[in-house]
Amino acid sequence: MNAALRSFETQWRARSPDALQPIREQAMQRFLELGLPSLRDETWRYTDLRSVAAQSFSAAACESKGAADGSELSLVDAQQHAATLTMVNGCPLLNADLPVIKGLEINSIRELSKHDSQSLARFFELASDADQRWALLNTALFIDGLYLKITGPVATPIVIRHVATGDGTQAAHPRIIIDASAGASAVVIEHHIAQGDPSPLTNSNTHIALARDAQLEHYRVFASGAGATHLDSLDIHQAQDSQCKQFTIALGGGLVRSSLEAHLNQRGANLDSYSLLVGHQDRHVDCVNVVTHAAPDTRSRQTARAIASDESRVIFNSKVIVNKGANGSDSKQSCRGLLLSPRAEIDTRPQLEIHADEVKCAHGATTGRLDPDMLFYLLSRGIDRETAQSLLVFAFLADVLTGMSVSSARSAIEGALISQLPDSQILRNFR
């Protein structure tokens, strides 16, 4: 057993039992059996966690000092009157003056579990897949979290500010549950930031459950410092005719590993997944998406754009599984990578696993430098080379961002991404 496993087990034994104890205990035992992933694990073959395994971690404290005032970090303009919820090392700051938002109920998972642990149990299904081991650890060790019950149309975006504070010897396990009732709709933006560098190891998990005809637009934006290690798991379960539009944006962190497990469980479920992965300096970004079509006439689209500069490395590993009997399933996977440095690396791996006959599935992946034909076209129109290159990079970025309905979030994300790219001053002129 390595140092990290020993420290996680020590944290587990030091915890006081709560209403979710049986589920937590099963999760911890399964995690200890599996151990930390290594390069021998298929979906971890590009990401080396030996530096994490060699460390001992203590639980990050729920300290709110300095974390509540961060309006300048918001991705949404104040004019849009978004509800902003703050979590510090996974602990929600729910004040008594929390605004009442039509169509939304906000609760602490810890407090809710004391009164109704049975209804929460369905959101803590223990994954048998070894790739979900970090979600198991989150289930075992999370201190508290947010339960958002969406009961109707929510008019304004909901922003969740995840603040990591502490140092690299600590670990935090933020937990979010988004439960959308039939016909409900909302936009939820999760914004991960850090105070101080290095910051605690962050192992976050979000569970999304969409009932019939529910609609959700979900963002997860990683914007921690260069010394941060962030491991994130997102589980999506969709019922009949539900629609989910999901954006994963990596614009910070030293090592970022994001996973998405989507289950299209009933006819008509529709998922659009967008990933914008930016490698900068020596950043390592690993994005793994697995979408399971478990019912007939379901639809999924995965669109990823990866940019790598300096000595960074970006990985996009996507898989679509079509179960037996899921006839009429329609899926597409598209990943394009743009290399801006000879020392940068992009790895893409689209996969299909089909157990039904009448399906429509396609995938494609390309990686290279700027298109020389497009560059020549712009040069022939009198545009100088530097401006032409910047314009092509900006167009590459916009491929993913155009689908965002929250214009201020798109603008803020564009600005943060552009600042990390060559010729950033020129790029700003095209915004």
- Asked if 191 contacts 76 with a C-beta cutoff of 8 angstroms, the reply is no
What mean pLDDT is reported for the chain? 90
Instruction: Write out pLDDT tens, residues 151-203.
Output: 999 999 999 999 999 888 999 999 999 999 999 999 999 999 988 777 899 99
- Asked if 270 contacts 242 with a C-beta cutoff of 8 angstroms, the reply is yes
- Alpha carbon distance 349, 82 (integer Å): 37
Q: What are the residue ranges spanned by the domains of the chain?
A: 3-266, 371-431
* Rounded (5°) CA angle 306-71-206: 50
* pLDDT value, residue 394: 76
* pLDDT value, residue 275: 96
Instruction: Write out pLDDT tens, residues 238-287.
Output: 999 999 999 999 999 999 999 999 999 999 999 999 999 999 899 999 99
Instruction: Write out pLDDT tens, residues 194-208.
Output: 887 778 999 999 999
| Highest mean pLDDT out of 97-106, 314-323, 336-345 | 314-323
- Alpha carbon distance 315, 204 (integer Å): 19
Instruction: Write out pLDDT tens, residues 67-76.
Output: 544 444 568 8
Mean pLDDT over 371-399 rounds to 78
Range scoring the smallest mean pLDDT among 63-72, 102-111, 237-246, 403-412: 63-72
User: Is 90 exceeded by the pLDDT of residue 370?
Assistant: no
Which tokens go with 126? Answer: 């223990």
User: Is 50 exceeded by the pLDDT of residue 135?
Assistant: yes
CA dihedral of 342, 390, 72, 97, whole degrees rounded to 10: -90
| Highest mean pLDDT out of 142-146, 166-170, 375-379 | 142-146
Cα distances from 102 to residues 83, 105, 310, 374, in angstroms, run: 11, 8, 47, 48
Q: What distance, in Å, lies between the first and last C-alpha atoms of the chain? A: 51
- Alpha carbon distance 144, 92 (integer Å): 7
Which tokens go with 77? Answer: 């303009």
User: Is 60 exceeded by the pLDDT of residue 66?
Assistant: no
User: Is 90 exceeded by the pLDDT of residue 351?
Assistant: yes
Query: At 205, is the secondary structure helix, strand, or coil?
Result: strand
Query: At 301, is the secondary structure helix, strand, or coil?
Result: strand
Mean pLDDT over 61-88 rounds to 70
* pLDDT value, residue 67: 58
**Is the bond preceding 198 in cis, omega lying within 30 degrees of 0?**
yes
Task: Tell me what percent of the residues of the chain surpass a pLDDT of 90.
Answer: 67
Mean pLDDT over 402-409 rounds to 90
User: Is 70 exceeded by the pLDDT of residue 104?
Assistant: yes
The H or E element that residue 120 is part of is helix 109-120
The H or E element that residue 51 is part of is helix 50-53
- Alpha carbon distance 413, 75 (integer Å): 8
User: Is 90 exceeded by the pLDDT of residue 422?
Assistant: no
User: Is 70 exceeded by the pLDDT of residue 339?
Assistant: yes
Range scoring the smallest mean pLDDT among 5-9, 115-119, 149-153, 251-255: 115-119
Tell me the pLDDT band of 118, cut-offs 50, 70 and 90.
confident
* pLDDT value, residue 71: 41
